[in-house]
Amino acid sequence: MTRKKGITVACGAMLAIAAVGIIGWTGQSAQALGKGELGGRPMLKEAAETLGRFLILRSQLNVTPEQRGKVRAIMQSHSDEIVPVAKAIVEKNRALRKEVFAEKPDDASIRAAADQLGKAIGDAAVLAAGIRGETRKVMTPEQIEKIEEFRVYKDRAVDSVLERLPSLLAQD
């Protein structure tokens, strides 16, 4: 897998996971999403805009075939670590959701499940940081700058939604 493709796959997977989580949280149906009905759902709109920005970033990175090959090799070298970490997050997230939606939710059980999910996310973050360090060595300073600009954009977009959240929650 090329570096650009590896970065694209990794980022796309993260965005897809985030979008699925947001869709599940808001109760938005896949059918409605297919029709572009995001009105009144700022987090879904933000996820869609972020995906669009990501696709633009992907085209602007101008990853060379050599970079793609190096990133592919890095990702493949960590595949035996990535899969179990991803599965752990999915499993722990499902366990937390089960506790939250239990017939009689128990605070201690919810917190314990949340702690387990947090640990799984932490394990993934540590792994991602290591892989990021390896893939960063393959990128040019310009590519790194564009990726950082994208991260800043995402953070600002989330901050914007959070700032508007009180008024959004107060709407009928």
pLDDT per position as a tens digit, 31-57: 444 444 445 566 677 778 778 877 888
- Tell me which amino acid residue 35 is: K
pTM of the model: 0.66
Confidence band (pLDDT; 50, 70, 90) for 164? Answer: confident
Residue 55's pLDDT is 81
Segment 10-28, tens digit of pLDDT:
544 544 444 444 444 444 4
Greater confidence, 27 or 134?
134
Mean of per-residue pLDDT scores for the chain: 81
Across 60-80, average pLDDT:
93
